Amino acid sequence: MPRTEIVFYREAGDWVPVREWFRELLLADPRAHSNCVGRIERLAESGHELRRPISELLRDGIHGLRARRGHVNYRVLYFFHGRQVAVLVHALRKESSVPETDIRLALNRKAAFQQAPELHTPRD
């Protein structure tokens, strides 16, 4: 199986929300950062075949990568664009279930990306 390409969603003005979240997490908790990066690597290796406990389908094509450090749960929300591209659209720290507002934000970013992928793909 070919590797899945990982793409970070870019907002207008070149802001890449998941990258920024990762920068902040690295400063706050390097081990949690490492756990999340490891999950993204698993996504790149396994793509659509990735299942629980590492990934779960939340709804409407939005998946959540699951990472944990101690009692803290982390989620990186993503969707697939075509067969071999996963787009990381949102990341959060959570207590129980992923809040509906975070899922809606991910769905809005998914719709924007699908409408104009070139506008929402980082230039670097």
pLDDT at 1 over 80: no
Digit-coded pLDDT (tens) for 45-69: 999 999 999 999 999 999 999 999 9
Tell me the pLDDT tens digit for each residue of 15-51. Answer: 999 999 999 999 999 999 999 999 999 999 999 999 9
How far apart are the C-alpha atoms of 88 and 90, rounded to whole Å?
Answer: 6
The pLDDT value given to residue 6: 97
CA distance 67 to 74: 5
Pick the closest to residue 63 from 81, 22, 3 (CA basis). Answer: 81
The SS3 of residue 67 is strand
